[in-house]
Amino acid sequence: MSEMQTAMKSKEPLFSKKNKKLITDPLSDNNPITIQVLGICSALAITVQTQQAIIMFVSVLFVMVMGNLTISVMRSLIPSRIRIIVQLVVVASLVIIVDQTLKAFQPDIAEKLSVFVGLIITNCIIMGRFEAFAMANKPWPSIMDAVGNAVGYGWILIAVSLVREVFGSGAISIPGAGQMKFIPEAWLMTGEGGFYLHNNMMILPPMALVVVGVIIWVQRMRNKALIEDH
């Protein structure tokens, strides 16, 4: 009886506290963008429209989960001297798969994301998770970790793009449905009449940095433990 209990205990449930923490931690207290400040390049570049941010998030989620899983499964086979190269090959091939699939089935969005899908390869978050987590953990926790970090990255991306698209273009866009403008044409200060002007600065990359900065500010205001001592 007691033997059975120990056997059951040694098999960790799929959503144990520890595993859940792997998902929830990167959402806020250990967010890859706002806390670790990784993956900033793409956060600045593709957050002009929400649909781009959503597709980017899904792409990163796919690359991250498949990559973490692959690396974790192979972790005892990978020669340590070439492990970074192996990680690079894994992430590069996954990104090529995503890029080609987007070009085949979501051509309009692939056009907009253009070079940034390719740049998922250099997204520091992914290589960081491969090296720091998947190389040392079992496949299931690695998947959890990948989901957590990708969602942590994704929600910041979507939040930033919402702000930028609403104020920059007066619209919201969803993949498949396209862009929906909600500011009536008559309000716009084009030609005669109108009183409203889109904030063109929101469309430029520096504003993404400002929006991310505001998120970091709010986050540290709510959780004082995140503030570093100097």
Give the interface with another protein as residue ranges (CB under 8 A). Answer: 48, 77-82, 85-86, 89, 93, 96-97, 100-101, 103-105, 107-108, 111, 114-115, 168-169, 190, 200, 203-204
Cβ–Cβ < 8 Å for 151, 26: yes
* Torsion sign (Cα): 41, 160, 29, 94: negative
- CA dist., res. 73 & res. 161, Å (int): 35
Q: Which is nearer to another protein, 35 or 43 (CB)?
A: 43
Smallest gap from Cβ 2 to another protein, in A, equals: 36
Smallest gap from Cβ 29 to another protein, in A, equals: 33
Picking from 227, 39, 53, 50, the residue whose alpha carbon sits closest to that of residue 149 is 39
Residue by residue, DSSP assigns 181-217 as E-S-GGGB-SSSS--B---GGGGSHHHHHHHHHHHHH
- CA dist., res. 153 & res. 214, Å (int): 16
Smallest gap from Cβ 55 to another protein, in A, equals: 16
Smallest gap from Cβ 131 to another protein, in A, equals: 17
| 188 DSSP assignment | B
135 C-beta neighbours (distance < 10 Å), count: 20
Q: Which is nearer to another protein, 33 or 46 (CB)?
A: 46
- CA dist., res. 98 & res. 61, Å (int): 11
Q: Which is nearer to another protein, 31 or 51 (CB)?
A: 51
Q: Which is nearer to another protein, 34 or 51 (CB)?
A: 51
Tokens of 55: 């597709």
Count of residues for the chain? 230
Smallest gap from Cβ 88 to another protein, in A, equals: 11
Smallest gap from Cβ 175 to another protein, in A, equals: 14
Q: Which is nearer to another protein, 5 or 191 (CB)?
A: 191
Widest CA span of the chain, in angstroms?
A: 84
* Torsion sign (Cα): 15, 17, 20, 22: negative
Q: Which is nearer to another protein, 16 or 200 (CB)?
A: 200
